[in-house]
Amino acid sequence: MAAWKDWAISPFALTGEAEPGVAAMPAMLRRRAGFLGKMALEVAYQCLDGRSDIPTVFCSRHGEVARAVDLLTELMQDATVSPTGFGLAVHNASAGLFSIARKDRANHIALAGGKSTIEHAVIEACGLLADGAPMVMLVAYDHPLPEVFAAFQDCDEQAYAFAWLMVPARENAIHLEWDEAGEAEVNPGGMSGGLEVLRFQLREQRQMQRVAGKRRWLWSRHV
């Protein structure tokens, strides 16, 4: 946590290459997960810390796109595509592995919402809380795009994963509002949305405004 707070104060490139151990997951299932999935699974296990029957929202803008590229390359070369490989390339692969490994039948959702993925995940989690869930785990994770898609990368993508255990609003709650943003306010590049929001949280900022596409998101902390 200290290293993350240092990063929040003065951001630096996230360059870790060692795969998370995910020691809490049975080896047979753990071996199926790639680097991105293991990041998501590691923070999910640490966040729940043995709790069960907690709804989860997994969010990633790009998900396992690298696996999908590999599968498409195999198809292009007339190779046989592995059903297991396909199953692990879908967007809810990490959420599915997590629920199977823990034999947990709690509701789990996997979503992608473009540049506003983290905001849509928070809205989804708040909806579950409003429906009566006492807490919801949100897992945010992403990875730079494969080289074949490099020309379409519109922000400084870095490998990261974090998890929040969200509960109904109380003292020091974080609020999220949005409205339409003008074309002139759209600024491509910069930090990815998930990392911007993580930095806002770690720095305990009172407010942060983020423009994504034509939408302006206002994050605030009410003390």
Region of residue 114 (phi > 0: left; psi between -120 and 50: alpha; otherwise: beta): left
pLDDT at position 188, please? 53
Other beta carbons within 10 angstroms of residue 31's beta carbon come to 8
pLDDT at position 184, please? 44
Structure-token pair, residue 106: 């709690």
* pLDDT higher than threshold 90 for residue 56: yes
What's the pLDDT band for 152 if we cut at 50, 70, 90?
A: confident
* pLDDT higher than threshold 50 for residue 9: yes
Give the residue, 170 or 94, on which the prediction is more confident.
Answer: 94
User: Angle, to 10 degrees, between the axis of helix 193-202 and the axis of helix 2-9?
Assistant: 110
**Residue 164 half-sphere exposure, CB side, CA atoms within 13 Å?**
18
Percent of the chain clearing pLDDT 70 (strictly above): 96
Q: Shortest CA distance to 45 belongs to which of 6, 91, 94, 5?
A: 94
Distance of CA 49 to the CA centre of its chain: 18
Beta bridge partners of 208: 219
pLDDT at position 213, please? 83
Q: Which CATH architecture has domain 2-170?
A: 3-Layer(aba) Sandwich (3.40)
Q: Specify whether the CB–CB gap between 9 and 30 falls below 8 A.
A: no
Q: Domain residues of the chain, as ranges?
A: 2-170
